[in-house]
Every structure is written in C-alpha cells, then in structure tokens.
Amino acid sequence: MRTKGWLRAHKWLLARRATQLGILALFLLGPWFGIWLVKGNLTSSLTLGVLPLTDPFVLAQSLAAGHLPYREALIGAGIVLAFYLLVGGRIYCAWVCPVNIVTDFAAWLRRRLGIKGGRAPDARLRLWLLAFVLVVAAVTGSLAWEWVNPVSMLHRGLIFGFGLAWGLVAGVFLYDLLVASRGWCGRICPMGAFYALLGTRALVRVSAGRRSACDDCMDCFAVCPEPQVIRPALKAIGQHHPLILDKDCTACGRCVDVCGKDVFRITTRFDRSES
C-alpha cells in the first residue's frame, strides 16, 4: 500500500463493494422507497416486470426434490447459469454474495487482531456437502439447504426482515473470526462449491503476468481467500502460463490490489502473455 497509495491499493475491493451494495440497493429501492425496479431476492427475482432471474443452485435443489418449476424460474435460472458459465463461477461469491462482506470483514479483523490457528475442515467438505444437500433434497422433497442457508437468509433478511436469522450470520462471522480462517466461504459453503463447478471454463481470470517482478513478500497469500490457487500461476508449479485457472479463484482482485510490484491483473483465460 505504501508504494501504490490507498486508492489504488483498494481499487478492486471498492469496485466489488460497490457492485455488492449496488445490487442490494436495487432490491431495497422497492421496499424502502417504493421504486420497484427489482422484486424478490437473490433466490428468485423479477426485474422491471420482464426479466426473471433465479439462482441455479436453488433450482438444482428444486429439481432434486422432484419439483419442476414454471417457465419463468427455468428461464431465470438459465440466464444466471449462462452468465456464470461464461463470465466466472465464483465471481458470484466475490461480487454478488452478501455473506462475502461478512466473511471478508471477519478475515480482515482476524488479520488485524493477529488471531492464528483454529481448526479448518478440509476444503473438499463443500463438495461433499453439495452432493449431500442434493441427496437430502431428493429424499425429503424439500429445498434442503434453504432451511439453513445463511446466504439466502442474509439477503432475504435485509429485504423482508430477519427474525433470528441474524444469529446464523453472526455464527458465520464468529466461525470465520475465531475458529477457521476463511472457513465458511472456503471450506463449507456448498453454494460456493456449486458456482465454482460452474466456472471451471469461464472467461474472466486473474493472471500473474508480471510474476518475474515478484519479491516473495507474501502479501497476496495473506489476503487471498483461496490462497492455494495462486502458487501454480505465480511459481509455475504444474503449469507454464501465469493464469490462475483454479475453479476456486473468486476473481475478487485483492491480489491485484495488494501487490506492490503489480504482478497480477484481471484478464481473460486466453491472455497468457507475460511481461
């Protein structure tokens, strides 16, 4: 930050917060000010009375539960699915998901307070949980994860009212702060795992294009929510090109922000250039 100045060292973070809060604001314009551009919530919504959008993860649960929704929900899920397939799966996590703000804050506070250790489950847990959720949906005939999903509960809570759902969000925050670094988004959330699987072939990628300038300060590893994705690209381990192609990369751009040597940039998966 010393070399780049505060604004440049937070460029992508600010862009992300603006996107997250902007999307939330679109949903809140209706209930708060009576301006109904977008109705519903992230699970399923209707924009300007014509554009349906539906979360494909919830649709997958619905299909697993044996319920085929009406055309609007199918079209809506198709649009969202196409977007994340094309642009980047976990871009949802970093740029849209409201829980990201909570867990980013927990991670920041954890670094600030110097909290170390804790017990983090295996990162593959989220994939098992994803499969488990779909099986439970099939067995019970219900949207299984929506009984506990803090993502939909936080978003719905902000728009329609929380009840005790605050507790669940606070639980995620405390878990990430005290028990497991980046535990929720990086280890547990099956929704993130679902979007990660969507984004395996997606376009938008982070590249360590100026990796020759890297001075091993480790700032990117410290700030990255999925630090294991950096090494192959930065240190040319198991690959030659500098692209981060791991499906778990959320394209949050924090590595771009914090790197004093401008090693990283956000680009496309076809851009393998190096300088």
Partner 1 sequence: MRCGLCVRDCPYDTLKLAELGDNVATGTPYFEARKVPCEMCDDIPCVVACPTGALDRGLTDIEDARMGLAVLIDHETCLNYLGLRCDVCYRVCPVIDRAITLERFHNPRSDRHALFLPTVHSEHCTGCGKCEQACVLPDAAAIKVLPIALAQGSRAEHYLRGWEEREAAGGSLIGEQIELPVRGMEDQPYGDTRLRPDAPPAPAGLDSGWKP
Site for partner 1 in 46-65 (CB under 8 A): 46, 52, 54-55, 58-59, 62
Q: Which of 56, 76, 98, 225 is the binder for partner 1 (CB under 8 A)?
A: 76
Nearest to 144 by CA among 62, 44, 66, 40: 62
Cβ atoms < 10 Å from Cβ of 190: 22
State in angstroms the smallest separation of the CB of 146 from partner 1.
6
145 touches partner 1 (CB under 8 A)? no
72 touches partner 1 (CB under 8 A)? yes
41 touches partner 1 (CB under 8 A)? yes
Q: Which stretch binds partner 1 (CB under 8 A): 10-18, 114-122, 155-163, 171-179?
A: 155-163
State in angstroms the smallest separation of the CB of 163 from partner 1.
2
Q: Which is nearer to partner 1, 159 or 230 (CB)?
A: 159
28 touches partner 1 (CB under 8 A)? no
Q: Nearest 5°: CA angle at 64, between 59 and 69?
A: 45
Q: Which of 165, 185, 191, 259 is the binder for partner 1 (CB under 8 A)?
A: 165
User: CA 224 → CA 135, 229, 257, distances in Å?
Assistant: 32, 9, 11
160 touches partner 1 (CB under 8 A)? yes
Element (H, E) at 39: strand 38-41
> What torsion do the CA atoms of 144, 150, 156, 160 make, to the nearest 10 degrees?
110
Edge-first strand listing for the sheet containing 51-54: 38-41, 44-47, 51-54
Q: Which stretch binds partner 1 (CB under 8 A): 7-15, 44-52, 95-103, 266-274?
A: 44-52
Nearest to 98 by CA among 153, 171, 49, 163: 153
State in angstroms the smallest separation of the CB of 230 from partner 1.
36
Site for partner 1 in 201-260 (CB under 8 A): none
Judged by CB under 8 A, the number of residues near partner 1 is: 38
Residues in contact with 18: Cβ distance below 8 Å, sequence separation at least 6, in sequence order: none
> Do the Cβ atoms of 269 and 203 come closer than 8 Å?
yes
146 touches partner 1 (CB under 8 A)? yes
> Do the Cβ atoms of 186 and 129 come closer than 8 Å?
no
CA–CA separation, 201 vs 190, rounded Å?
A: 19
State in angstroms the smallest separation of the CB of 73 from partner 1.
4
State in angstroms the smallest separation of the CB of 55 from partner 1.
8
User: CA 201 → CA 35, 49, 82, distances in Å?
Assistant: 37, 32, 12
> Do the Cβ atoms of 53 and 155 come closer than 8 Å?
no
Q: Which of 14, 35, 67, 140 is the binder for partner 1 (CB under 8 A)?
A: 67
* Sign of the Cα pseudo-torsion (129, 134, 139, 140, in order): positive
Site for partner 1 in 96-125 (CB under 8 A): none
State in angstroms the smallest separation of the CB of 49 from partner 1.
10
- Report the interface residues with partner 1, using CB under 8 A: 30, 36, 39-41, 43-46, 52, 54-55, 58-59, 62, 67-70, 72-73, 76, 143, 146-147, 152-153, 156-157, 159-165, 167-168
